[in-house]
Amino acid sequence: MLKFFGYKKCSTCRKAEKSLEKSGSDYTFVDITEEPPSKAELKRIHAQSGQSLRKLFNTSGEQYKALGLKDKIDDLSEEEMFNLLAGNGRLIKRPLVTDGKKSTVGFEEKVFTFSWK
């Protein structure tokens, strides 16, 4: 079963959920703002997604801007980035979806739909 880390008020998450429902995929929804993935889970999702660690950050979000991460991110170590992400679900690009073997970050319908078939 898929684990879907999202936020109900996020329009991108709603689109991704509709895509999963349309394909008949079973998933468990986890509110990323209330229960962000652990550091270990983020490391696994990062490795499985094939994305750069910076792609896990919600760069358009309020928290990213409030913390001034645009100017600080290049100076952070990987550990510091994972600590920030695990400690604040609003910093994470949504949705994160994983089946334990592969993971996606964000929603691009063409890639997203293909990943779960």
Give the model's pLDDT for residue 117: 62
Give the model's pLDDT for residue 116: 61
pLDDT greater than 90 at residue 113: no
Q: What is the enclosing helix (H) or strand (E) of 98?
A: strand 96-98
Among the listed ranges 10-14, 16-20, 46-50, 110-114, which one has the minimum average pLDDT value? 110-114
Give the model's pLDDT for residue 112: 75
| 2 phi, psi to nearest 5 deg | -80, 150
pLDDT greater than 80 at residue 51: yes
Give the model's pLDDT for residue 114: 64
Among the listed ranges 29-33, 98-102, 106-110, which one has the minimum average pLDDT value? 106-110
Closest CA to 104 of 24, 1, 5: 5
The architecture (CATH level 2) of 2-115 comes to 3-Layer(aba) Sandwich (3.40)
Return the number of other C-beta atoms located less than 10 Å from residue 57's C-beta.
21
Domain ranges of the chain: 2-115
